[in-house]
Amino acid sequence: MPDNVSERDALKTRQLPEMVLGDASPGSMTAPTIPLPAEMNSAAKAMARFSVKGNAIITGGAGTLALEAARALLEHGVSGLALLDINTAHSAAAIEKLRADFPSSTIQDFTCNITDASSVSIAFDNVVSELGSINILCNFVGVVGCTHAIDMSPEEWRKTLDINTTGAFLAAQAAAKHMISQKTGGSIVFIASISGHRVNFPQPQVAYNVSKSALLHLAHSLSAEWAAHGIRVNTVSPGYMDTILNEGEGLEKARNVWCERNPMGRMGQPHELTGPLILLCSQFGGSYINGTDLVVDGGGIVF
């Protein structure tokens, strides 16, 4: 019998794998968090509500937004931090500044090709070897290109989706494997974009838009599959941020358009992403937030 016929017949007897959801039973990974003690004073409660414990990995860790996030995570209590990037050398001074400002925290940087499963696995194993565990993953890695769809090469299309979407999946998968084996649960946050919700204007960037849209649904899917293990998966969708990637005379016209079409009349500042990120990473404040996207764009998405 031809292989294609036997494979078709086999479809009739296949069994679908089924995801297991949390049951919230006492002692399970989805049981409710214990309320903050009534005897705690208000200041202590405020600090505990948004504390971030354990060790964190940031992919794309040498970028402007990632380094801002790193500082916020350290301020809110992470004891260990690993910055993963294809090349961290251009941010060496900023990383050393973090080490100087937070001497009680262990801060490491590792070279990692986010699109290579072997490189990701080795990097995450090295992080666990150095820090002891993984409790938080923030995926900042990403590339953007502005090319008319009619002119886009298959290579550019594949590269954008490979880094922005496949790379995010490989990192999340590696983190989840460690979180599950540790039996600690954890928080995974993907940095998506308003580009995953709306078509950008005036620049054409179809590959980027599609990759970020896929990232939103990747988070939805993983949040369903991994919740039973105590792993929450969420996304933050920034609007146009005022970083070096959006600077220069050549972008002045576009910057003006972005600001004119925003209710707040401006671009976002890097530090304005840190509050939502800390909320999603916090063990108490974000404990029941799962499969959610927080849009941080000054209201630009309403148009």
The arithmetic mean of pLDDT across residues 260-277, rounded, is 94
Q: What is the pLDDT of residue 15?
A: 86
Least confident of 8-22, 183-197, 206-220: 8-22
The arithmetic mean of pLDDT across residues 281-297, rounded, is 96
When the candidates are 3.30.160.20, 3.40.50.720, 3.60.21.10, 3.60.150.10, the CATH number that belongs to 51-298 is 3.40.50.720
Q: What is the pLDDT of residue 12?
A: 81
Q: What is the pLDDT of residue 132?
A: 95
Catalytic (active site) residue 183: no
Report the SS3 class of residue 58. Answer: strand
Q: How many Å from the N-terminal Cα to the C-terminal Cα in the chain?
A: 58
Catalytic (active site) residue 193: yes
Catalytic residue, chosen from 212, 223, 237, 282, is: 212
Closest among 245, 230, 249 to 140, alpha carbons compared: 245
Q: What is the pLDDT of residues 216-235, one digit of tens each?
A: 999 999 999 999 999 999 99
State which amino acid sits at residue 220: H
Catalytic (active site) residue 288: no
- Strand 55-59 relative to strand 80-85, pairing: parallel
Q: Does residue 279 register a pLDDT over 50?
A: yes
Compute the distance between CA of residue 267 and CA of residue 91 in angstroms, rounded to an integer.
Answer: 23
Average pLDDT value for the chain: 93
Report the SS3 class of residue 247. Answer: coil
Q: What is the pLDDT of residue 1?
A: 46
Closest among 298, 280, 42, 81 to 194, alpha carbons compared: 298
Q: What pTM was estimated for this model as a whole?
A: 0.94
Exposed, middle or buried: residue 50 (CB in 10 Å: 0-12, 13-18, 19+)? middle
Q: What is the pLDDT of residues 71-93, one digit of tens each?
A: 999 999 999 999 999 998 889 99
Task: Please say whether the beta carbons of 295 and 193 come within 8 A.
Answer: no
Closest among 275, 181, 176, 165 to 223, alpha carbons compared: 176
Q: Does residue 122 register a pLDDT over 60?
A: yes
The token pair that represents 162 in the structure block:
């490979």
Q: What is the pLDDT of residue 14?
A: 84
Q: What is the pLDDT of residue 13?
A: 84
Catalytic residue, chosen from 193, 195, 237, 282, is: 193
Catalytic residue, chosen from 79, 91, 187, 208, is: 208
Q: What is the pLDDT of residue 5?
A: 65
Q: Does residue 113 register a pLDDT over 60?
A: yes
**How does residue 57 score in pLDDT terms, banded at 50, 70 and 90?**
very high
Q: What is the pLDDT of residue 167?
A: 97
Closest among 273, 286, 228, 270 to 94, alpha carbons compared: 270
Task: Please say whether the beta carbons of 61 and 67 come within 8 A.
Answer: yes
Between residues 247 and 251, the one the model is more confident about: 251
